[in-house]
Amino acid sequence: MARGKALYSRKFFLANLVMVGIIVGFALSTLVFSCSTRLEPGDSAFAQEPGTTPEINVSSLQGSFRQVSTAVLPSVVKITVAEGGDGDEQGNFPWFEFFFGEPDGDQPRRPRGLGSGVIVERDGDTYYVLTNDHVVANGDNIQVSLDDRSEVDAELIGSDPRKDLAMVAFESDEDIPVVRLGDSDALAVGDWVLAVGSPFGLQSTVTAGIVSAVGRRGGPQGNISDFIQTDAAINQGNSGGALVNLRGEVVGINTWITSQTGGSIGLGFSIPINNAKTAISDFIESGEVQYGWLGVSIRNPSPVLAEDMGIEEQDGAFVFHVFEDSPADEGGIQPGDFMKAINGTPVENADDFILRVGDLVAGEVVEFDLIRLGERQTIEVTIGRRADEETIAQQSPRAWPGMSVLPLTDEVRSQADIESSTSGVLIINVESRTPAAAAGFRRGDIITRMNGSRVRSVLDFYRELNDEGVDEVAFTYEREGEESTVSIVR
């Protein structure tokens, strides 16, 4: 009886009702899902509808690579420089035998240089090829191999070690494409690029990568260019070849790599094509690159110097010496000036300043914004034409003043073992054959007075040095505890 009453109780009825509801709800949801989304084995289910987020079109990207390669390859050549002239084949290309072995004893000559080049101009049947200076430097018997593997002799038109650029020319009555030059200033980190050239002599090789960085400094000694860094594979033999954007425009000339093995490790560097455009015209017109000349010795200031001069944490370039009778001297630029801008465009550092002055045209009047003794000024200078390296080297005696100094901070005193009671500025460098060297100054001398006035900072040093009211600067200095005086005529 008790069991029967339990079956007909209110609580039992409600429990059954809830259970029936759950079963019906589950059945209905299954039916609805099966009608709206039917999955077969192997199908994928999406958490959201396809197309709601950007997708990479791989086929389009591959098509771009193919189109660019097809368009550019006929304009990129292999360059072979045969032994000859007075160049040192072992010194210039020590890697050749490592990769290609020793030549047979009966061979009269062998390749001294292998590289690449880019056809950048045509004048009738004459084609002009831009390449690197280190590919063709001091060489003769230059041969160009075209994309169709035909070979023609080429002539060196001109070369320039400062930018590591050179130009050769060859004759052909064939219709050979000329590359389109792009705007390297428009490149951004992450942009796709292709490197085209002849690594290890393997002609018409194309590799892909991205722009890893722009505005890189350093590189081969003496090169004044900044560089595009890329992870597109660049190897020996790619030098002088093209770095190309996805529009098929040449944006760089591949130049050097960083590697401990001699092969690509994803650190390749190219000269921005905007740095080479003026050189292309100069090579064709005169056979040499013509640089603007200001006539200053300029470097980045050390943190200690910058703080003492009140220019810390600022972009710019510091003038250490000015050459007598140079455009800078005649225009009023002085040692100690901190160059801030050229024609209104800010200067990043000394390398940037040197590169941009070199691109100025001789005879052009240029505005230089600078800081002098803490005050902003603008000076106009008529740019000169830079002489050759030998002539520039002979002008050392004309560099004023010929010495560089630092303030006597606690750190400097500690490193140089200078007593705290001594005040002045410390000479840290004396350029040979300059007025300072001729006066007998040495590194380690401490200048305490100039023109009879106390010198307590680098600012004081440059104020007295550039005093237009005196023609002869009198220095009092200490050396190993002994005090001396010497004068230098401007």
DSSP summary character for residue 458: H
Spot the catalytic one: 133, 147, 160, 164: 164
Look at strands 180-181 and 249-257 and give their pairing.
Answer: parallel
User: In angstroms, what CA-CA distances link 207 with 115, 161, 244, 253, 347?
Assistant: 16, 27, 10, 14, 34
Tell me the three state secondary structure of residue 95: coil
Spot the catalytic one: 75, 116, 133, 134: 134
Written as one letter, the residue type at 35 is: C
321 is catalytic: no
**360 burial class (0-12, 13-18, 19+ CB within 10 angstroms)?**
buried
In angstroms, how far is the first alpha carbon of the chain from the final one? Answer: 130
471 is catalytic: no
Q: Give the H or E element holding residue 11.
A: helix 10-36
Spot the catalytic one: 159, 212, 225, 239: 239
Tell me the three state secondary structure of residue 455: coil
286 is catalytic: no
Cβ pair 227, 271 in contact under 8 A: yes
Written as one letter, the residue type at 324 is: E
Q: What is the rounded CA–CA span in Å between residue 422 and residue 456?
A: 10
Residue 286 — φ and ψ, nearest 5°?
-135, -5
Written as one letter, the residue type at 468 is: E
Residue 422 — φ and ψ, nearest 5°?
-85, 130
Enzyme catalytic residues: 134, 164, 239
